Amino acid sequence: QVQLAESGGDSVQAGTSLTLSCEASRFSVGDYCMGWFRQAPGKDREGIASSDRAGRTSYADSVKGRFSISKDNAKNILYLQMNSLKPEDTGVYYCAADETYWCGGGWSATGRYDYWGQGTQVTVSS
């Protein structure tokens, strides 16, 4: 079955950078809509970034200009480069896969994604 495995989470200081990876099995990250989400303690899971088959990307306003989503199609890995981290970026980060080619305007809706990873913890201290 499809498996998504996140890695790269850590405890870091504010202002530093971190790169998360999501390795996919039995699912081609380059062919479909892929998303990164995060869930802070006591809050709903929110969409952070998405990337579709055409390479079009979308970002939440809170991370625009700081985070970057990318794919290595050869390795079948989805990445999230996070720069200038803030304490409010703290949370569990999940990657998700949707069996459609295009993400579109509804990219941040959790219900549209078919597969989820187990999450990786990112803690940013001030």
Tell me how far CA of residue 84 lies from CA of 9, 14, 77, 113, 124, in angstroms.
Answer: 15, 7, 23, 28, 10
Residue 52 corresponds to which tokens in the numbers above? Answer: 């579709």
User: What pLDDT is attached to residue 85?
Assistant: 98
Give the pLDDT band of residue 5 (cuts 50, 70, 90): very high
User: What pLDDT is attached to residue 89?
Assistant: 98
pLDDT in tens, 62-120: 999 999 999 999 999 999 999 999 999 999 999 999 999 999 999 999 999 999 999 99
Residues 7-27: what's their mean pLDDT? 97
Asked if 8 and 17 touch (Cβ cutoff 8 Å), the reply is no
Give the pLDDT band of residue 31 (cuts 50, 70, 90): very high
